[in-house]
Amino acid sequence: MIQTTQLSKKYGQTAVLQIDALEIPKGQSFGLVGNNGAGKTTYFNLLLDLIRPTTGSVINHEIQVNQSEAWKNFTGSFIDESFLIGYLTPEEYFEFIGDLRGMNKADVTSFVAKFEEFFNGEIIGKKKYLRDLSKGNQKKAGIIAALIGNPKVVILDEPFANLDPTTQIRLKKILKELTENKEITLLVSSHDLSHVTEVCERIVVLDKGNVVKDIETSAATLQELESYFSI
């Protein structure tokens, strides 16, 4: 369970995020949508304790993220390319993340091998550094790295952007399987309304830092979101 209370982030006088209360129960697949500048990435950065909240707090499985670092044990995330180490090959990068999450090389290799279809033969064994991969392939590597080490919470910022259609479909499948057992809490943000409605059981719309909609996904959700955004 991730509890957000009275959370706000201000830069000078401008408030970029203001969430009074938001609870994400364990095992939920949670989608965050909103136009540019709505505060999606800010919220994720606050969840990961990469920026300091102006007020309020985030509690991730009973751990307040800016008080203790214990949440890092069970939280996997991929925000953007700055999460990748450019001079490593994808294999080395997975191994590094695995090391930090207490998995040995063999475990990591067999875990990553499960995603061979998702990688489409473009990641493993290519003898390329991450910095030399295309944006889409970098993203694939980053997403899978976030899943290494049995995380209880997975945070992905715009996972569908830059991916080709086939990979988008495969990613949706992976994310759905991930939350099947209601063990893993998944948080994704996206600009693609149809993807996010397909993957997530709950969708929150942010606008200028405020929660303006909190919807349990149903057949009508996509319609509702489209009409909301086509102002």
Partner 1 sequence: MVLHFLKLEWKQFFRSAAFGKSIGVKILLAFFALYFVLMFTGFGIGGFYLLKKQYPTKDPLFLVNSFLLFAITADLIFRYLMQNLPVLNIKPLLVLSIKKNNIVHFVLAKSACSFFNIMSLFFYVPFSFVLIKEGYHTNGVLGWLFLMFLLIQSANFLNFLINKSNIAFSVLLTIIIGGFLIQYYNVFNIHQFVGQGFNFVYQNPSYSVLGVILLVILYILNFKKLKSEAYLDEAIATKVKEANSSDLSWTEKLGDVAPFIKNDLRLMWRNKRTKSSIWMLAMGLLYGLFFYPNPMYSKMNFMPVLVGIFSTGAFLINFGQFIPAWDSSYYNMLMSQNFKYERYLKSKFTIMTISVLLLFVLGIPYVYFGWKILAVHFAAMIYNIGVNTHVILYGGTFNRKKINLDEKAAFNFQGTGAVQWLIGLPLMILPMGLFALINYLVSFEIATVTLGILGLIGIAFHQKLMATITKKYIANKYVMIHAFKQEN
List interacting residues with partner 1 (CB under 8 A).
Answer: 48-52, 69, 72-73, 75, 77, 79, 82-89, 91-92, 95-97, 99-101, 127-129, 131-132, 149
207: three-class secondary structure by DSSP: strand
In sequence order, the 6+-apart residues with CB closer than 8 A to the CB of 101 are 148, 149
Dihedral sign for Cα 57, 77, 183, 196, please.
Answer: positive
* Residue 41 one-letter amino acid: T
Which lies closer to partner 1 via its Cβ, residue 92 or residue 183? 92
Which lies closer to partner 1 via its Cβ, residue 69 or residue 180? 69
Smallest gap from Cβ 132 to partner 1, in A, equals 5
Q: Are 126 and 137 in contact (CB under 8 A)?
A: no
Which lies closer to partner 1 via its Cβ, residue 146 or residue 205? 146
Which lies closer to partner 1 via its Cβ, residue 2 or residue 79? 79
Q: Please state the φ and ψ torsions of residue 35, each to the nearest 5 degrees.
A: -70, 175
Smallest gap from Cβ 144 to partner 1, in A, equals 14
Smallest gap from Cβ 13 to partner 1, in A, equals 18
